[in-house]
Every structure is written in C-alpha cells, then in structure tokens.
Amino acid sequence: MSSKTSHDGRQRYWWKQIETWKASGQSQKGFCNANNLNYPQFVYWLRKYRQHPRAERKRASDFIPVTLSAPEPATELTLVLPSGLELRGISQGNIALVQQLLGRLA
C-alpha cells in the first residue's frame, strides 16, 4: 500500500469519526473515551478537517448516512363478494382503486 493510499485511508477514517462525533452531541473527549479513540489524534484530525473546504471533505467520505425505517406490517385485506368474486391484496395504498372497482360492479 502506498503512503498516499495509507494517508487517504486514515483521513477517511478520522473524518468519519468526526462526522459521527458531530452528530452525537457528546464532548470531544467524551466521544473519544466512549469509542476508544486517541484524543490527541482526534484533535489533530479535527484541525485538518476544519482546514479543508466542505466539498473536499464530502469527497473524502466513502459513505453517506442512511436512516432505515421499519417496514409497515402487511395489512392486506381480501373482500369476497356474494357472487364469489374475490378482491385480494386490498391495502391503504390501493383503496381508491378498490372503491372504483366496487362502483363499477354495483
């Protein structure tokens, strides 16, 4: 691994730690203690981080934060008409279509 690649990897690592610290609401020292980080190294990289333009800091990140929401539980219904016709998969997302179908069948 070249020295440049090694430095870039360290930079990405520390900048990710700094971004995580900023979102945490913790003090610098508290964040370092909680995450087993060397506080003087954190301060060193924080100084470097603040010296770089914002666009360059974003380019150095490999990932962007993503928040996943829990999937909604399946709440599909089946409607069986007196004629024996079944409408399956009725959900909140297609209720307007079901109403139109029932209106046509009436």
Note the pLDDT tens digit of each residue in 34-78: 999 999 999 999 999 888 876 565 555 556 677 777 766 667 778
Any idea which residue has 């730690």 for tokens? 17
Instruction: Name the more confident of 13 and 86.
Output: 13
Count of positions (residues) in the chain = 106
Which secondary-structure segment (H or E) carries 22?
Answer: helix 3-24
pTM of the model: 0.49
Terminal Cα-to-Cα distance of the chain (whole angstroms)? 73
